[in-house]
Amino acid sequence: MHERSSVGELAHQLRQEFDRYSPGGKLPSSRALVERFRVSPVTVSRALGQLAAEGLVVTRPGAGAFRAAPPPAATAGGDTSWQEVALSADGAADLVPRTVDASGVLATLAQPPPGVIELTGGYLHPSLQPERAMAAALSRAGRRPGAWGRPPMEGLPELREWFARSIGGTVTAAGVLITAGGQSGLTTALRALAPPGAAVLVESPTYPGMLAIARAAGLRPVPVPVDADGVRPALLADAFRATGARVFVCQPLFQNPTGAVLAPERRPEVLRIAREAGAFVVEDDFARLMVHEDAGPLPRPLAADDPDGVVVHVGSLTKATSPSFRVSALAAHGPVLERLRAIQVVDTFFVPRPLQEAALELVGSPAWPRHLRAISAELSNRRTQMTTALRLGLPALALPHLPSGGYHLWLRLPDGTAESALTSAALRAGVAITAGRPYFSAEPPAPHVRLSFAAVAGPAELTEGVRRLRTAWDEAGPTS
């Protein structure tokens, strides 16, 4: 059994038996628990640590574990209704309300209830994560001289150099800042490039987490439609002229949610249009390491073809490793780099050095290319399997574009389908799916759903998830 599930099960069993012990009463010894539950000493130690963190157990070195005294009775809460007035008054003068709507982000971060198949996840299933390689890298990193000291504010030079080489072109280590995950990099970029109240051009549809960042900063997202070849340059130019925007946020590679790749002929057009508008392009290159096995050669990042400092590039290791491996990079050229650096220092100081050292150890190890090859093959297989299952079981769901990278499919529903009804019915049927509405910054042109194939345990669960979705469709899909 997986170590983490064993820890959880043992902790649950011990909670069930707490009534046997009075407050301060001693629990069985670790050796007794090992023999009784047939688990390892490490599992016992971790389960007791979990209960101690919950305030249920007190451990005393050399003496054992004891049931903790019950906490004092909670007092009635005060009157917090004044906060409604205070929070509303703070935004009264804002041109654009700085509301924080995290629902689109939580849809891909929240774990579904037990027994529900997760077709919403934005990260690799633990079985696909390089857990052993990351653990070994972290162990080696912790033994490096100075590993627990303060790193340079911009990040470790060697890690900045690695990201610069990954981007290519004229990007150098001097133009790279290490950040704590792609979400942090996007937040820093938008804060640096656009003042509150300004319009920011975004792809439509696009990543809900970026829309949440923009709105929380008081920015006004303006949609620019995408098709199977990425953003449409003519509409992008129109949007710049109509809004006076100075920022365009895009995902040129395996766009979320459509999976589109910006066509070769459109790449220079996008840079030219932004340059003529005196605007920046924020390139969110989140899925480059999740290319599928059957994809052709990948285009370079836009930043690699930009000598004029138009592009602010965001790249990350997180999607291809683990949600907790939050190491990413911001790359820029020119005066904007100092503004990006200043905002990051004020917000977070720096990314913890042990994590940066572990990233260096990981990407420099023989396990790293092996891992990338493995997930490339697995994601390709899962995409094919899900596509086949949908064609056979749910032909009414249209797949306008078959992605060659990333971890999800973007499906158009027949007109008249209620997304919310379908997602609710799916949950009742035991499968979690993501509605399309949060991916649009304005009114959507049609109903959609996004299905992820990365967060499930394996092929059997993927097939079962589509079967359950068919049950939901029979309940909530359009009748005509």
**pLDDT tens digits, 372-385:** 999 999 999 999 99
Q: Are residues 460 and 385 in the same domain?
A: yes
| Residue 250 clears pLDDT 60, i.e. is over it | yes
Q: Is 442 inside a domain boundary?
A: yes
Query: What pLDDT does 313 receive?
Result: 97
Handedness of CA 97, 211, 442, 433 (dihedral sign): negative
Using a 10 angstrom Cβ sphere, with 0-12 exposed, 13-18 middle and 19 or more buried, the burial of residue 323 is middle
The predicted model gives 8-18 an average pLDDT of 86
Domain encompassing residue 397: 103-128+369-476
The residue ranking higher by pLDDT, 130 or 80, is 130
Is 225 strand, coil or helix? strand
Cβ-contact 98, 190 below 8 angstroms? no
pLDDT for 83-138, tens place per residue?
A: 666 666 655 566 666 667 777 777 777 777 889 999 998 899 999 999 999 999 99
Looking at the structure, tell me whether residues 197 and 280 fall in a common domain: yes
pLDDT > 70 fraction of the chain, expressed in percent and rounded = 92
User: Of 201, 133, 24, nearest to 375 (Cα)?
Assistant: 133
37-58 average pLDDT score: 87
Kindly state whether residues 136 and 234 are assigned to the same domain.
Answer: yes
The residue that leads in pLDDT, 403 or 20, is 403
Q: Are 312 and 283 in contact (CB under 8 A)?
A: yes
Using DSSP, state whether 226 is helix, strand or coil. Answer: strand
Please state the rounded mean pLDDT for residues 250-279.
96
**Residue 96 falls within a domain, yes or no?**
no
Q: What is the pLDDT of residue 479?
A: 62
Mean pLDDT, rounded, for 398-415: 94
For residues 28-39, average pLDDT: 89
Residue of 201, 205, 160, 194 lying closest to 179 (CA atoms) = 160
pLDDT band at 5 (very low <50, low <70, confident <90, very high): low
By DSSP bridging, strand 247-250 and strand 328-331 are unpaired
Q: How far apart are CA 467 and CA 258, in angstroms?
A: 23
Separation between Cα atoms, residue 172 and residue 174, nearest integer Å: 5
What is the structure's pLDDT at 310?
Answer: 92
427 with 359, same domain?
Answer: no
Q: Is the peptide bond before 28 cis (omega within 30 degrees of 0)?
A: no
Domain-ending residue, one of 338, 363, 388: 363
pLDDT number for residue 70: 79
Helix (H, G, I), strand (E, B) or coil at 249: strand
Q: How many helices (H) and strands (E) does the chain have?
A: 16, 15
Structure tokens at 239: 């949007």
Mean pLDDT score of the chain? 90
Contact 395, 389 (CB under 8 A): no
Residue 400, domain CATH: 3.90.1150.10
- Per-residue pLDDT of 130-160, as tens digits, reads 999 999 999 999 888 888 888 999 999 999 9
Does residue 191 surpass a pLDDT of 50? yes
Query: At which of 363, 378, 406 does a domain end?
Result: 363
In a domain, 86, yes or no: no
Structure tokens at 89: 């008054």
Identify whether residues 45 and 182 lie together within a single domain. no
Q: Given this model, what pLDDT does residue 180 score?
A: 93
pLDDT at 1: 40
Q: What number of residues does the chain have?
A: 480
pLDDT band at 371 (very low <50, low <70, confident <90, very high): very high
Residue 310 is part of a domain; what is its CATH number? 3.40.640.10
Same-domain check for residues 425 and 318: no
216: enclosing H helix or E strand: helix 208-216
More confident residue, 268 or 75: 268
Residue 313 domain flag = yes
Residue 444 counted as domain residue: yes
pLDDT greater than 90 at residue 59: no
**Judgement on whether residues 273 and 394 belong to the same structural domain of the protein:** no
Considering only CA atoms, give the Rg of the chain. Answer: 25
Which of 24-38, 119-133, 326-340, 383-397 has the least mean pLDDT?
Answer: 24-38
CATH number at residue 48: 1.10.10.10
Instruction: Mark whether 239 and 166 lie in a shared domain.
Output: yes
Q: What is the mean pLDDT of residues 387-413?
A: 95
Q: Stretch 218-239: mean pLDDT, rounded?
A: 95
Residue found by looking up tokens 């809900």 in the block: 208
Q: Are 66 and 57 in contact (CB under 8 A)?
A: yes
Integer Cα distance of 281 and 274 in angstroms: 7
* pLDDT band per the 50, 70, 90 thresholds, residue 392: very high
Lowest-confidence segment of 27-41, 323-337, 361-375, 399-413 by average pLDDT: 27-41
Is 120 found in the same domain as 226?
A: no
Residue type, 404: S
* Pair 266, 357 in one domain: yes
- Predicted confidence at residue 68, as pLDDT, reads 87
Task: Report DSSP letters for 17-54, one per residue.
Answer: TGGGS-TTPBPPPHHHHHHHHT--HHHHHHHHHHHHHT
Q: How far is CA 458 from the centre of its chain?
A: 20
Domain presence at residue 51: yes
Residue 81 lies in a domain: no
Q: Is the pLDDT of residue 350 over 60?
A: yes
Angle at 471 between CA 468 and CA 475, to 5 degrees: 140
What's the rounded Cα separation, in Å, for the pair 65 and 52? 9
Place of tokens 């891909």: 108
- What residues pair up with 247 in beta bridges, in sequence order? 280
Give the pair of three-digit tokens for residue 310: 């138009």
Residue 445 has pLDDT above 70, yes or no: yes
**Single pTM value for the model:** 0.83
Q: Map tokens 């006076």 to a residue.
A: 244
Structure tokens, 61: 């070195």
Task: Classify residue 89: in a domain, yes or no.
Answer: no
**Contact by Cβ (8 Å): 233, 201:** no
* Sign of the four-CA dihedral 140, 145, 150, 151: negative
Are 122 and 254 within one domain? no
Higher pLDDT, 104 or 185: 185
Taking a C-beta distance cutoff of 8 angstroms, is the pair 245, 198 a contact? yes
Report the number of distinct structural domains present in the chain: 3
> Does 309 lie in the same domain as 212?
yes
Structure tokens at 345: 């220092």
Helix (H) or strand (E) holding 314: strand 311-316
Last residue of a domain, one of 321, 345, 363: 363
